[in-house]
Amino acid sequence: MGLRSLAAIVYGILALVGGIVGYAQARSMPSLVAGVISGILLIVGGIAHHQGADWGMVLSIIVTIVLVITFAVRFWKTRKFMPAGFMLLAGIIALLAMLFA
């Protein structure tokens, strides 16, 4: 599996797990919905790219950009590393891997 596909899948798993944890800790339905949807899109995109479909990486890059912007705004407002800062950092690393690996 290539690094680009792996970055999308790993970031998707982080988003999915983060949404579930956010719901479990704070009963945040928006966290659950956003985490599950974005996580599934990233995982599907990574798997599709691994199987040779270029649209999979395009999908993963778009979802990652949206998440990076979302977490940057949240981190700016809260100044808390968890979860916003962590997901922002992970998203930037994943995005760089998707674009340049």
pLDDT in tens, 41-50: 999 999 999 9
Contact predicate 59/26, CB 8 Å: no
Structural domain that includes position 14 = 3-100
Give the pLDDT confidence of 6-50 residue by residue, as tens digits.
999 999 999 999 999 999 999 999 999 999 999 999 999 999 999
pTM metric for this prediction: 0.95
Q: What is the rounded average pLDDT for all residues in the chain?
A: 97
State how far the Cα of 57 lies from the Cα of 98, in Å rounded to an integer.
Answer: 7
User: Per the structure, how many domains does the chain have?
Assistant: 1
State how far the Cα of 27 lies from the Cα of 88, in Å rounded to an integer.
Answer: 22
Q: What's the pLDDT band for 56 if we cut at 50, 70, 90?
A: very high
